[in-house]
Amino acid sequence: MIEIKAHNSDIKMLTVKELSSDLRIGKDKAYALMKSKSFPSICIGKRYYVTEAALADWLRNYEYKEYHL
């Protein structure tokens, strides 16, 4: 997890590996999720990240729904 201090608040960003572990999905599925247009990921160089807050919002939005990659 990467922590960034911005304007007196901490922003925690998850890597693909951490996302994979947290969601209990494979690394390939985590990469596919990070690259999908409807997922709130951030690409910096060739690395993908998602903030914990954006992931939580995305999960609440898809609660009780199916998401297909």
Alpha-carbon distance 32 to 30, whole Å? 5
Residue 21 lies in a domain: yes
> Do the Cβ atoms of 57 and 41 come closer than 8 Å?
no
Specify the number of domains making up the chain.
Answer: 1
Residue 24 lies in a domain: yes
pLDDT at 30 over 70: yes
Structure tokens at 37: 């247009």
Q: Provide the residue range defining the domain that includes 25.
A: 2-61
Residue 66 lies in a domain: no
pTM: 0.81
- Residues β-bridged to residue 44: 47
Query: If you average pLDDT over every residue of the chain, what do you get?
Result: 89
Q: Assign residue 39 the CATH number of its domain.
A: 3.90.105
Question: pLDDT of 35-55, one tens digit each?
Answer: 999 999 999 999 999 999 999
Alpha-carbon distance 17 to 27, whole Å? 7
